[in-house]
């Protein structure tokens, strides 16, 4: 893989990751007349929960559902410059033009006006966009395994780079797919957030892992993997280095976790063999997900990684993929219990959804015999 760094017209960084042998040098210039961005992100801590909430009012003007011929993530063409100056690319990462967090934001007062118990700080961190392919009408699940491996390498590269920035506490690569999820750009892409704090979900998982290790002397995810592989009822797919399963207390109507058999804190820690193996297994998982209802499944896929600076020994890298689609034509809306109290109520059992996902990967003859 070849890595090339360049800059866009407003100074944002863009990084090309090329896996094709005849990829041209990435020297194209961004010809747009873009203003230097002025971001005003800040974070405020809820005095009742202790959780940080981001404020990014400048994002109200971000691009929203453009037609395909105006897609800002497609390669540039004569007379139509985009976010990617090159006429084609393999995988590309660039700083988000409308970020939730940015390294250049100004300082803010340490507390919210009139509420001294509500801490406040600059939303000083970094958000990036990852384009998986220059082809507008494809999807992650249609990529070749070699291209998925390039994406994994790009995720790992950016995890290391963002983690080295001052103030970044956690790095979260993720993909949103489908309008039902809230996608406003249909080009196959994901994002990477470098947070200026450890997220509440990660903090809770680390607390649970610490308590389990103190009691049992082992990692809870390692024991969960062993139990799931032995039981088999919630397995979706397995390989030499990875297992995909529906968690025993799944929150979403479709939810799959993909975990390596070896405890590693983050993507950079994966071996070459683990990265290659993931590419093949994950494509199988995505094929099963799209086969579930006979239509492209809207989903969120996000990597749970260790914090940058602490508790790395308590983390176990894994990917979580979930969908709000509970039947082929019905969405799960977060009702009062989920939205108000974070108490989830699922309309399907994990065992049922796992069986459906296993069946969705069979051919017609297999389904008749099963």
Positions annotated as catalytic residues are 189
Q: Is 136 annotated as a binding residue?
A: yes
Q: Which two tokens stand for residue 49?
A: 């929960």
Q: Is 74 annotated as a binding residue?
A: yes
Q: Mark 269-281 as b/e (b = at least 16 C-beta within 10 Å).
A: bbeeebbbbbbeb
C-alpha distances in Å from residue 143, one per residue of 150, 200, 319: 11, 33, 18
DSSP letter string, 23-59: PPP---------PPP----EEEE-TTT--EEEE-GGG
Q: Is 187 annotated as a binding residue?
A: yes
According to DSSP H, which parts of the chain are helical?
Answer: 145-163, 200-216, 220-231, 272-292, 336-341, 350-360, 364-369
Q: Is 131 annotated as a binding residue?
A: no
Residues 294 and 299: their CA atoms lie apart, in Å, by 15
What's the sign of the alpha-carbon dihedral 250, 153, 27, 161?
positive
Residues 228 and 251: their CA atoms lie apart, in Å, by 17
Annotated binding-site ranges: 71, 74, 136, 187
Q: Return binding residues for Zn(2+).
A: 71, 74, 136, 187
């Amino acid at each position: 893989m070849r890595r090339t760094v360049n800059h866009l017209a407003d100074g944002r960084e863009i990084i090309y990751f090329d896996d094709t042998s005849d990829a041209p040098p990435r020297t194209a210039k961004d010809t747009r007349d873009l203003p230097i961005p002025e971001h005003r992100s800040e974070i405020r801590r809820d005095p009742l929960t202790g959780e940080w909430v981001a404020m990014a009012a400048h994002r109200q003007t971000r691009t929203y559902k453009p037609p395909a011929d105006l897609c800002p993530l497609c390669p540039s063409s004569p007379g139509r410059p985009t976010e990617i100056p090159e006429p084609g690319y393999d995988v590309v990462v660039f700083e988000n033009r409308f970020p939730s967090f940015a390294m250049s934001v100004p300082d803010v007062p340490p507390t919210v006006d009139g509420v001294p118990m509500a801490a406040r700080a600059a939303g000083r961190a970094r958000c990036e966009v990852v384009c998986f392919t220059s082809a507008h009408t494809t999807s992650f699940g249609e990529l070749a395994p070699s291209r998925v491996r390039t994406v994994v390498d790009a995720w790992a590269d950016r995890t290391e780079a963002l983690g080295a920035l001052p103030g970044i506490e956690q790095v979260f690569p993720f993909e949103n797919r489908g309008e039902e999820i809230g996608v406003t750009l249909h080009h196959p892409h994901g994002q990477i957030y470098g947070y200026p704090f450890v997220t509440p979900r990660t903090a809770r998982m680390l607390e649970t892992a610490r308590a389990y290790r103190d009691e049992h002397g082992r990692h809870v995810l390692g024991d969960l993997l062993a139990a799931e592989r032995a039981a088999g009822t919630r397995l979706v797919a397995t390989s030499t280095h990875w297992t995909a399963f529906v968690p025993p207390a799944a929150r979403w109507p479709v939810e799959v976790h993909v975990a390596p058999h070896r405890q590693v804190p983050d993507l950079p820690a994966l071996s070459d063999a683990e990265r290659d193996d993931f590419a093949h297994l994950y494509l199988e998982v995505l094929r099963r997900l799209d086969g579930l209802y006979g239509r492209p499944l809207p989903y969120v896929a996000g990597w749970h990684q260790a914090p940058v600076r602490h508790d790395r020994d308590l983390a176990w890298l894994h990917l979580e993929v979930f969908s709000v689609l509970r039947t082929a034509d019905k969405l799960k809306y977060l009702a009062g219990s989920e939205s108000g109290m974070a108490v989830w109520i699922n309309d399907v059992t994990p065992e049922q959804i796992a069986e459906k996902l296993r069946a969705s990967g069979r051919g017609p003859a297999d389904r008749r015999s099963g």
